[in-house]
Structure 1
Amino acid sequence: MNSTNETKMDMKQAKQNNTPNIRWTLVGYDLIVYALVAVILLVLYGGMDKLSTVGIFQQVGLSVLCIFTARLIGKIYGQVWRYGGIQCYIRLLFTDSIAFVAYLCLELLLPVQKITFARLLSLVSLNLLGALALRMMYRYAYKCGNQETTRGKILSILLHIFSGIEAGNEKEVQKIKVAIIGAGRVGVSLAEELLNNSEAAYVPRCFIDINKEKVGRDIHGIPVWSETEATFKKLGEFEVQEIIFAIPSMDAAKKKSLYEYYKNAGYKLKVYDYPTMYVAGGKRHLREFDIEELLFRKPLVVSDERTNAYYKDKVVLITGGGGSIGSELCRQLAKMNPKKIIILDIYENGAYDVQQELKIAYGNKLDLQIEICSITHRKALERVFEKYHPQIIINAAAHKHVPLMEHNCVEAIYNNVFGTQNLVELCEEYDAERFMMVSTDKAVNPTNVMGATKRMCEMIVQSASTHGKVKYSATRFGNVLGSAGSVIPLFKRQIANGGPVTVTDKRIIRYFMTIPEASQLVLQSGAIANNGELFVLDMGQPVKIMDLAENMIRLSGVQGIEIIETGLRPGEKLYEELLVKTEELDKTDNSLIFIERDTALSKEEIYRKIDVLRNACDTGDDLIAKEALRSVVPTFKTPEEVNKEIA
């Protein structure tokens, strides 16, 4: 009874999957192909070695035995050919090659009527060609038989007649139909991936490309249209629901134009590319537009072979190594084969995360050490320097959140200013080669505590370069997309909660960089520094925060999200500057990097300023500390002074 039930279940499952039926049906079709070939080459073709009836049956028996035995052993009939890739066809080619060798040997050894080598080879080869053609036609009919075209309907009927398979099954009808912008290597690889994966949620309906050699032709049965041909009416006829960008090298202005064109038409947009927030071992995948891409400019690449060579076999200490910038610095450095990377951070979770990521990516090839301490803790820092004797120190540790630091001025000075001074002094004491400081555009004519402390750090570094043994430099850049202090996470949370999205002032503009860009800049500027330079990146045009918020709302697809102004926060100004004195700029080998040379203060003057700050901080009063900071940083202005100039 159980056996009977199991048999019935197997038959039911076989009927649903059609796999056993298709397998034996395919054997039957292969026999038909072989019969046609045998009739042509063994019966109709006489040749010099014309066969008798007995001879024909002998050759048929041998060839059928060798060919089909090899295919059965090679599991040719166990493959699902509707999803078959090149590996399936290679296997068929290989098994029939084995069959040919076996056929040739048996034909020579056994007492049968002989045929010429050319005739024997032609028999096997023509049969193989027929088998390959049969499978290709089946696969083509299966893939294209669900299209709402005359060709698709004909293919669907033929597929059903000869295999019993329905091309347009319910699962495939439910797939999201997409148009792929770009019929190049990346776009075609995406199309192949979607076509070959039965579980894929998408099915490509067309390519959109500007290459005249491709327009009007088909790739894998998918038509290639020009941009003018890809009208909304035509896309509608092909039931296109989403548009996928698959041209990584597309010009930024062109990408922006296409993005707005299709977005305004109501299409959902995706990208097939690497993630913009790179992680070790990342690969291309289908994803939503990242926020960084709303800037619609090509990511700046500033690292080069000279930079890679500089960090090779060096011991590098990164303070704040678990943070947004610090962790990306670790990823970039890991590619350069350093002798050792020391991640120093007070926040152990961030340091742990980047440690695990790099361990997975590099294993034992990378010597990675974690030290948990604050840069304000002088004795703990001394132990780190004594243990590792780092050659290069990159200071990415800082309190960066502008409004919070306005109300925590003492802590901002302790961490940013005194922490930097601790590192500078230890670099001299332990004979480091180079000290690189991560700065910000908010240090230029600062209107807030955070910016003023970073300007003080710049002055400390520049002063140390005039009397120390270590080579010093600072690197200044704008806002970093995706960092912990970025406005982007706030906008994301607000949109997810249904709004409203809050913008402090609709007139605010900011310079933006991605984390990889900022990190590469720090590393290259440090590598090319002679001593005392303040490096500045040409960051292009600034971005309106209001435009960024509007783009994010459009990108989310959520309707009815309101944007409201809340007023400027304490210490916030309407625009940020990258340069203190634009007329004092030097060029570097990289056209995107400039050097601002400022007059360095003497060691005595710096220590006098530090004493003023230390005495103020000892009171524990944030207002006293803020006034002391204003006295030692001459460019520290009130937001009102700066904002009224463009109000």
Structure 2
Amino acid sequence: MSRLFLSTNENKRKVILYMLLDVFFIVFSLLAAICLWYGGTIPGLPGGVGKVIDTQIWNWFLYSSLFISPICILVYSIFHFYSNLWKYATIEDIFKIVLADTVVFILLYLIDGIFVSKLLLTTISKRMLLVAWIVDIILFVFSRSGYRFIKRLFINLEKIVSKKAGIKRVLVVGAGYAGYNVVRSISTAEKGYENRTSVLIVDDDPQKNNTQIMGVRVTHNIENIPRLAEEYNIDEIIVAIPSTTNKQLNRIMSFCSKTECVLKMIPPISDISDGGYHVLRDVDIADLLFREEIEIDTKSISDYLTGKTVLVTGGGGSIG
């Protein structure tokens, strides 16, 4: 049964928070339905309906809340809502939410008809439950995915403003000393870093995940670069790991090359002079070969071919 609720121990706090939030939303939806049903007033307050009806309504609200809260948690757990990664929610997940909430309110309607109405000697309008159902779906969807849409809206607005101002949105690869220098250089608009803004830093070190460098969030990991570049509307990627090996650099470049971003990098540490951590250069074709660059000994070839007649085959190809 515990697998319905928790996927890992790390999620316990988040799951408990979601459960409490879901109970609050569904109870609030019942209260909102009562308020809307009685013309925007809360029964029992000035402007509300009579005392007899007030008592019946509030008793129904109390009993219904007690019944629907555990039902809500159970149904949502069966639908795996507490182990779902909502930041990747799709339209199918929205349909699942509607279906799950429909099950919850059908069960409430049945319980209301079998138990609550007999205890209170009263029944509540089906339309009131329909209103509560709609309100709860809206609250649930917003709590899981609303922040994502709002975040996306702000990113797009920032993108428009940045484009008009000619400012490039930069993703920095590497949360080490060189990465810090890149972010600092961008923030102070040093020569070569003008008209840029640091949006995100990507690093493979899981311990740096969700930390910050000068207010810029660090996220994990390198493999997510194509998705992050699209999600955050990145214009330029700066690879700031001068001490990396050729194999690691090839791996980084393989992900960066899947984007449509301009690629820049801090030169390898062997090419950096004193204090040269902030020097940017374009990515060379050799950085994209995904193997060690082969240095051609042109002098030896020249000495060997000088004075000879040479037949070259395959002249239409790049090697020829």
TM-score (normalised: structure 1): 0.26
Bigger radius of gyration: 1
Compute the TM-score of the two structures, normalised by the length of structure 2: 0.47
Q: Which has the higher contact order (CA 8 A, sep 6+)?
A: 2
